[in-house]
Structure 1
Amino acid sequence: MSSGDFSLGDFVQRALPLAILGLALIGAPLLIFEPEGLPRMRALSKELAQVKAENVELTRDVAHLRAEVLDLKDNPTAVERIARGKLGLVRKSEVVFQFGKGR
């Protein structure tokens, strides 16, 4: 073979990288801008931010509830307050007067 001969191996060695580059230049924008690409990523990022904000709020709620549980365990006055306010209970020594609606 002389230096002027063109073999299939030389063609593949030169054409394959160019073909891969061409495919990447065409395929990458298509993958980015298709509905499952960049728009989907933006929507998921927005959803992630909302979930993080909700987690912060829920963490605050959990901390508040834990404090309330500790208060109920250690403070009989807190238990009485809930029994009176939410359950409508009264002590045995108390008298309850109920008035009807005025006409």
Structure 2
Amino acid sequence: MPDDFSWSDFIQRALPLAILGLALIGAPLLIFEPEGLPRMRSLSKELAQVRAENAELTRDVSKLRAEVRELRDDPAAVERIARGKLGLVRKSEVVFQFGKPR
């Protein structure tokens, strides 16, 4: 070794190079391993799907809330459902049933 060799100079020069080398080798390994970039992409797709499903469910909840509010506040809405879905009629109404034509 030369007489002017200094460990502090060696460390000051070698340490940044060693860190750079480690980063050049380690970063691609961390990015492309199964828990790296591919996992992040699949989680991003899953997040987008969940957000879309949440938005659809939010719309459904809003529709159901509006329907509940209408049924609670509007007697005509209750009558429409009773007539349409349940086939009910008022006491004062007369129902005629006709057979199917042959």
Given the two structures, how large is their TM-score scaled by the length of structure 1?
Answer: 0.76
- DSSP-derived class of the 1:36 partner: coil
* Alignment partner, residue 69 of structure 1: 68
Q: How does 1:48-67 map to 2 (within 5 A)?
A: 48-67=47-66
Residue 79 (1) aligns with residue 58 (2): no
Question: Which ranges of structure 2 fall in alignment gaps of 5 or more residues?
Answer: 97-102
1:44-89 residue CA offsets vs partner (Å, 9 max, x unmatched): 1110111111122112111111211110121112223334555x48
Q: How does 1:1-103 map to 2 (within 5 A)?
A: 5-84=4-83, 88=86, 90=88, 93=91
RMSD between superposed Cα atoms in Å: 2.5
Given the two structures, how large is their TM-score scaled by the length of structure 2?
Answer: 0.76
1:16-52 residue CA offsets vs partner (Å, 9 max, x unmatched): 1101000000000000000000110110111011111
Q: Percent identity?
A: 78
- DSSP-derived class of the 1:28 partner: helix
- The answer (yes or no) to whether the contact 2:31–2:37 under 8 Å persists in 1 is yes
- CA drift of 1:96 comes to 8.2
The total of aligned residue pairs comes to 96
